Amino acid sequence: MLNASPPLSVPIIDQRHRFREIFQAVRSAYQPESILCNRPVELALRQFSDEAAATGNEVYLGQPRLNLHYVILTGLVADCLTHKVTPFHRARKYLHERGFTSSVLKVNGRSSSAYNAALIQRALDSFPTDHRFVLLGYSKGAVDALQALITYPSLRKRTAAVVSLAGAISGSPLVDITPAWLKWLFAKLPLPGCDRGDGAALKSLDRVVRKRWLIENPLPAEVRYFSLVALPEPQQISRILRSNHHKLSDFSANNDSQVLATDALIPHSELLAYANADHWALTLPLAWNWPWLRFFVDKNDYPREILLESIVRYVEERLLEQGKLVEIELNALKYGCVDTAHDLNDINNVQPKDDL
């Protein structure tokens, strides 16, 4: 048991104790040999002295009970990698085997949140009007998800919840300390497979810009919000990310090498956990996909299969408890006709089986 958890910069609803119960139950249901990293809950999720006691309530592990489509939004420069690896690459296969529907939506990794909000709205608008989504935004993808809800009111009616996964909700000090010439290169330099878009991604992550945006744009109350923070122990940070971790430690030692723990929280959201993983390890199986990179990403292993299913089951449980959705299906999702490897960027339904 560690000392008190990191200080909070925004009001949240602390649900770490319940999420830990769900994580433990989900892990127990897996065959250890079937997943890449079978790390026990006490090593996967950090536990601080102010975490409440377990509820003792049963954890439901059956078929989905709500008609929901879980859409994972990629982060900064992710489109440079998505032909090879996406957030929860491989982990989604296990989710689909349990009857849940998910897709990856590849936003533009070098564009502003306003630019990407339009991409999100266009992709999700291609589905029937009764389709209900849960948006899981990884890193900058969480910022893009919130922007989409503000910019496109019609999307709010179809979005049950937003989950921030190590999201740069209040920006990142790394943007503030990046030299202007490097920001220019990031925006303008041609990179293979990386569309430049509007080149304003880093401006969307400026801490002053983000904090002002949060003040000026109250989040829609009809949508539920959840935050999962990456907060690795120092020995759990990959070699290639340690320099950034040290830089951010000048602002706070509580960081994942890209984002401060205090900046990764959606205001008034439910805090699920402090994951013992660095920013990349939380969702991206880089070392598994590229073994030759293991020297640089030497702490990239994490039980992502368990984490993803735990998030989905927690969100479903909370939506049911709060009466957010009244349409309940005890059997398979009626959205079963949706190809779960569907590339949401392709409105023509060309499905490249991106991570199955």
Quick one: pLDDT at residue 113?
Answer: 93
Q: CB–CB of 124/133 below 8 Å?
A: yes
Q: What is the mean pLDDT of residues 142-161?
A: 96
The DSSP symbol for 275 reads E
Quick one: pLDDT at residue 351?
Answer: 33
- Model pTM score: 0.89
pLDDT at 265 over 80: yes
In the chain, alpha helices (H):
16-29, 41-44, 91-97, 113-124, 140-151, 153-156, 173-177, 180-188, 201-204, 207-216, 242-249, 286-289, 304-321
Instruction: Give per-residue burial for 46-74: e unless 16+ CB within 10 Å, then b.
Output: bbeeebeeeeeeebeeeebbbbbbbbbbb
Closest CA to 312 of 106, 91, 5, 148: 91
pLDDT at 40 over 60: yes
- How many whole angstroms separate alpha carbon 303 and alpha carbon 91? 9
Integer angstrom CA distances of residue 292 from 11, 89, 109, 300, 308: 42, 18, 24, 13, 26
Q: What is the mean pLDDT of residues 176-204?
A: 80
pLDDT tens track for 103-145: 999 998 888 999 999 999 999 999 988 899 999 999 999 999 9
Closest CA to 47 of 231, 183, 184: 231
pLDDT at 193 over 90: no
pLDDT tens track for 224-261: 999 999 999 999 999 999 999 999 999 999 999 999 99
99: left (phi over 0), alpha (psi -120 to 50) or beta: left
pLDDT at 355 over 80: no
Q: What is the mean pLDDT of residues 36-46?
A: 91
Q: Which residues contact 33 (CB under 8 A, 6 or more apart)?
A: none
Structure tokens at 347: 């409105």
SS3 228: strand
Q: Phi, psi at residue 10, to the nearest 5°?
A: -135, 155
**Which CATH code fits 13-334?**
3.40.50.1820
Place of tokens 């005890």: 330
Quick one: pLDDT at residue 84?
Answer: 72
Quick one: pLDDT at residue 298?
Answer: 94
- How many whole angstroms separate alpha carbon 106 and alpha carbon 86? 9
Structure tokens at 276: 């013992």
